[in-house]
Amino acid sequence: MPQPPFAKVLVANRGEIARRVFRTCAEHGIATVAVYSTADADAPHVSDADEAYCIGPPTAAESYLRVEAVIDAARRSGADAIHPGYGFLSERPELVAACEAAGITFVGPPVRAMTVMGDKVQARRAMIEAGVPVVPGVEDVPDAQAALAVVDEIGLPAMIKASAGGGGKGMRIVHAREDVVGAFEGAQREAIAAFGDGRVFIERAVMRARHVEIQVMADQHGACVGVGERDCSVQRRHQKVIEEAPCPSRQMTPEVRASMIEVATRVAAAVDYVGAGTVEYLFEETPQGANFFFLEMNTRLQVEHPVTEAVYGHDLVWDQLRVAAGEPLGYTQQDIVPRGHAVECRIYAEDPVSFLPRPGTVTSLRWPEGGIVRVDAAVEEGSEVSSYYDPMVAKLTCWAPDRAAAVARMQTALAQTVILGLQTNIALHQRILAEPDFATGLDVTTRYIEHHPEVLEPPAALDPEAPPSEQAIAVAAAAAVVAAQSSPPAASRDAGPSSSGGAWAQSARWRR
């Protein structure tokens, strides 16, 4: 086995992404270090690592967001690299600077790239200078009266966004002039509360567009490759629910894909990018053809990276580690060839209609078995889903030779999944996958859920006199099996390296 790029890697994160990074490290002989809050003392990611260090109380501000605590844990453990995962400190330049000061390698981009792309206004200006297409708009709108003037200039509908925003916070769509002042002030208040930064910009709202993103990977020697595209259009409250690769639009021709990749690599080059990043676009389908506009760049690994790994055959975490250590990327744009189709469903502990979090304890758990599905799980049986953190408990990813088969496999995987003790959004996924427009993939935009309210309809109340359905019998039987066993079969878990090679080896079997 060749010498690994690092001897020991600390993951400054929790949940499924920490476990995901640990898997790749273990497969390549790299020792691993977990950090955890007191609320996560018994969390699965802690037991997955070779070492673990407590970094503070339950709230993120006192633990996972404390740069000094993460650096201290790295020093105590002797870790020579820190992988930030996603969320928390993953896009905070202060962690990069602290790593440099401590002589620890940060697995991600340099400070400048993160600083420019972390601010939507700076990113927008940089992209205009680089000749990248952006949605018409105005940056740094100072007050509500200025917002009215901007709307009069660019027209309605308009999108009001927090400059330092993300995750849908500080974002408003306005359709009428009389709503501009209230929407602007509301976005500004939310931006101050969420990011401590009340700056706002306004751009034309592209109302019928897909959310399509290009995965980029760049090394320290000037090489940058676009590892295909993902379609992340099914969203609730501007947050993704289902992702897939490649994009199923008929207007995603090889020529359009090549153009989007060329622009994405130009975006990365404009900020001297290194590592894994994602350039996000609004993809507008018109009778004349496709238009795409730069939306933002996420300077980290994305939640939805498994669909790219399944279709394009690259372990993106391994690529991150290699290029962070100074190794050349080792492949070119010509080597990126899609094979088949992949779909990912994010499983949240939340109400599938209101989307409100539903924390609790996983009393019984059974994941789908077999080679049709990859499970990236944050929980095990007995795990506590805390109100302190994001309520995502797992991601299911299915690959198949074509989209219809991938969707069918996902329907099977969801039906086989049993999570007792928590309310989850599995029913929402099942309704979306069965809905005709999603099934064809041809009329799906970022307003899909808004335009298909039937997928939010709760199941009809049960008739106590009616015989149980086949699905109810199947779920009850699966729950009984889970309850009768002390733990799920090793083959059904995706918690670490195994004799079969882990999740990455499994995804290779899908492609074959």
pLDDT tier for residue 122 given thresholds of 50, 70 and 90? confident
User: Is residue 228 left, alpha or beta, with left meaning phi > 0 and alpha meaning psi from -120 to 50?
Assistant: left
CA quadruple 505, 506, 507, 512: dihedral, nearest 10: 90
CA angle 211, 216, 219 (to 5 degrees): 165
**Superfamily designation of domain 136-204:** ATP-grasp fold, A domain (3.30.1490.20)
In degrees and rounded to multiples of 5, residue 127 shows phi and psi of -70, -35
Fold of 8-107: Rossmann fold (3.40.50)
Spatial separation of the C-alpha atoms in residues 227 and 240, rounded to whole Å: 20
Q: How large a percentage of the chain has pLDDT more than 90? A: 76
pLDDT score at 195: 82
Residues in the chain: 512
Note the pLDDT tens digit of each residue in 449-492.
999 999 998 765 444 454 554 444 445 555 454 444 434 333 33
Spatial separation of the C-alpha atoms in residues 220 and 273, rounded to whole Å: 8
- Is 397:373 a contact under the CB 8 Å cutoff? yes
Of the listed ranges 65-74, 205-214, 292-301, 478-487, the least confidently predicted one is 478-487
What 351-358 contacts at long range (C-beta under 8 Å, 24+ apart), as own/partner pairs, is 351/423, 351/425, 352/423, 352/424, 352/425, 352/426, 352/427, 352/428, 352/456, 352/458, 353/428, 353/456, 353/457, 353/458, 355/236, 355/237, 355/425, 357/387, 357/391, 358/391, 358/422, 358/423, 358/424
Domains 207-339 and 342-435+445-457+466-512 share a fold: yes
Note the pLDDT tens digit of each residue in 369-400.
888 899 999 999 999 999 999 999 999 999 99
pLDDT score at 1: 61
Q: Averaged over 495-499, what is the pLDDT?
A: 32
- Taking the CA atoms of the chain, what radius of gyration do you get in angstroms? 22
Q: Averaged over 143-148, what is the pLDDT?
A: 94
Note the pLDDT tens digit of each residue in 39-87.
999 999 999 999 999 999 999 999 999 999 999 999 999 999 999 999 9
pTM assigned to the model: 0.84
Which is it for strands 384-385 and 341-348: parallel, antiparallel or unpaired? unpaired
Q: Name the architecture of domain 342-435+445-457+466-512.
A: 2-Layer Sandwich (3.30)
Is 237 catalytic? The answer is no
Domain limits, the chain = 8-107, 136-204, 207-339, 342-435+445-457+466-512
Spatial separation of the C-alpha atoms in residues 444 and 414, rounded to whole Å: 21
Burial (Cβ within 10 Å: 0-12, 13-18, ≥19) of residue 333: middle
Q: Which amino acid is at 483?
A: A
Q: What is the CATH number of domain 207-339?
A: 3.30.470.20
Highest mean pLDDT (candidates 23-32, 112-121, 167-176): 23-32
Q: Which of 199, 300, 366, 403 is catalytic?
A: 300
The sign of the CA dihedral 64, 70, 72, 78 is positive
